[in-house]
Each structure stands twice: as structure tokens, then as C-alpha cells.
Amino acid sequence: MTIENKALHVIFGTGPVGLAIMDELYKQQEVAIRLVNRSGKVSEPLPEGVELVNGDASDKSFAIQAAQRASVIYFALNPPYHLWTELFPQLQEGVIAAAEAHKAKLVVMENVYMYGDTNGQPLHESLPHKAHTRKGSLRAKMHATLMEAHNSGRICAVVGRASDFYGPRVTQSAGGETIFGKLAVGKSAQFIGDPDQPHTYTYMPDVGKALVMLGQNEDVFGEVWHIPNAPAMTTRKLVELAATEFGTASNIQAMPKWMVRIMGMFVKTLGEFPEMMYEFEQPFIVENNKFEQRFGVSATPMLEGIRATVEWYKREKM
């Protein structure tokens, strides 16, 4: 079957999530793939036949045009942390408009901020949204907008939610550059909060696989699904395992909230962290029983994921 005759899947966003979706779709070789971003550039060469379109997805007319012929659309955009309030809702509205215009199924990547502080209790899909932070309230409002569009019949949407990412291509995450990037060049890993609390990390290739699976099954739409995660471990243990793979010392610098507040006065991204530090000062465990029971799929074991992440950082940094 030629590319022109294949069903088209359109991915809005070419960061780690968007590229992980692309990887999974390309592996299956069953659909045509179009990526959409603002810059028209990606961090690596694209596979043969994958199309790239650039423009501003918050412009509904552009988003609709960019998604022409789409049967499935993935919302994997993520603006800079300090610009969420300004940019995020408009980006979602643009992608919703595209899905509605083309009657395409919409798969949305979300996080778990909207649940708020559960005082260390595990997070699951049936929890109420009790966000007490600005960013959590924003994500709750965006989800409500999405589900209103779904329930009214404008679109057909499904949501995947994940914890903090780690894996190849992941840099801007608690499990990214500040751990693997630092260790790759022989420096101490850095972590905001208490590294001895159990914390759920989500492996990026598992994200791509899970989102594609959601888009391929009719009975999952209108619901929220936590993407499979390996059992939670402490960040200190994560650093120890990564350091062993790098062949370097297992050192970690933990930054308490007061230090983050001071540094946030000079670094905009860090200035957004203090309100979210409850996630890193107590157990933060994201359950995924619902996904595993429905699909019979488990997360990649942490050591396997760490080894693949280390190999990627070695290629990038060493």
C-alpha cells in the first residue's frame, strides 16, 4: 500500500512525546505520518516518508489545514513551562478544532497535576480533580474543556496521563538532563526535593506505544488512562543504577525548596517549580492498573529503560 493510500495520523508536537508516537507508528508501517510543529525543525533526521509541516497550532485555520485527511490526531504539544497559562489552552483549542473539522479521533497527552496533593497516596484515574496549584488548575480546566467537546459530540477524544518522563530524547524532566545529562559528563546528578522518597517515572517509548494503542481502540474513548509505569523507586536508586551504567560515581545534589525559590528568581523555568514540589517531597506513585488490565501490557522494566537512556545520553554527550 502506498503512503497516499494509507490512513493518515497527524502528530501535533515534535518533542520527546511526539517523536515517541512517531516511532511506534513507523514501526507498525500501517499508516502515513505527519508531524506538525512551530519551527519546521526537529532534533534528528526523520524516517523516510514522514512529513513535517510547520506553523502555529493555536491558529485554528492553520491547525485545520495541517490536519487535512487525518483519521487520528495526537495532541503532544507542550509550551515552555513559564508560558503554560499564556499558550497551552489556545494550542489545545486549535487541535480540537482540527479534530472536529476532519472528524478525526483525538488522542491527548496529559500529566497528573490536576489531581493535586494526595498526601502521598497513589494516584489513579478515578480521583477527583483537586488541584491547588496554578498549573494543576490549568490542566484541570483544559481537561474539562476537552471532555465537554467530547461529550457534546463535537469530537471523539481519549486521554493518556503519565508521571515524570525519562528515556531517550528526554531532557526537560525531573528524570532528564539534570540526572542523566549530569552523570554523562561526570558531574553529580541534581534533583529538586527529597531523593529518598519513592517516585514514579514513565519511560518515553512506553508513552508512544500506549498513546498509539489508545488511538487504535474504539472502546477507550471518552476516558482517562494512566500510561504503564514500572514500580516506583527512589530517585537515589535511579541515580545509582544510571551511574553504574555510565561507569561513574553515584552522587546526587538535592535542592530544597528555599534554594529552588532563590534560583527561580534568575531562571524562569525554576521559578515555576516551588508550587509543584509536593510531588518530590513525599511518595509520588502513579497507578496504571486500568491500562494493564484492559490491554495486558506492562511497562518496560526500569533497569532496561535506564540502560537505553544511558546509551542515548552517551551518544549525545560523550
Q: What is the pTM of this model?
A: 0.95
- In contact, 256 and 270? CB cutoff 8 Å: no
- In contact, 179 and 189? CB cutoff 8 Å: yes
- 22-71 pLDDT, tens digit per residue, is 999 999 989 999 999 999 999 999 999 999 999 999 999 999 999 999 99
Q: Is the pLDDT of residue 296 over 50?
A: yes
Q: Which residues contact 300 (CB under 8 A, 6 or more apart)?
A: 203, 205, 206, 230
**pLDDT at position 3:** 52
Position 53, amino acid: V
- 160-188 pLDDT, tens digit per residue, is 999 999 999 999 999 999 999 999 999 99
**Three-state DSSP class for 16?**
helix
**Which residue is it, cell 549525545?**
316
Q: Is the pLDDT of residue 4 over 70?
A: no
Q: Is the pLDDT of residue 1 over 50?
A: no
Report the alpha-carbon angle 264-267-270, nearest 5: 50
Kindly report the number of other CB atoms within 10 A of residue 269's CB atom. Answer: 12
158 phi and psi angles, rounded to 5 deg: -140, 150
Q: Is the pLDDT of residue 273 over 70?
A: yes
**Which residue is it, cell 558531574?**
187
**pLDDT at position 2:** 46
**pLDDT at position 177:** 95
How far the first Cα of the chain sits from its last, in Å, is 41
Confidence of residue 158 (pLDDT cuts 50, 70, 90): very high
Taking the C-alpha atoms of residue 94 and residue 38, their distance in angstroms, rounded to an integer, is 13
Taking the C-alpha atoms of residue 186 and residue 169, their distance in angstroms, rounded to an integer, is 19
Helices (H) and strands (E) in the chain, counts: 11, 13
Better-scored residue on pLDDT, 44 or 261: 44
Q: Return the C-alpha cell found at 9.
A: 495520523
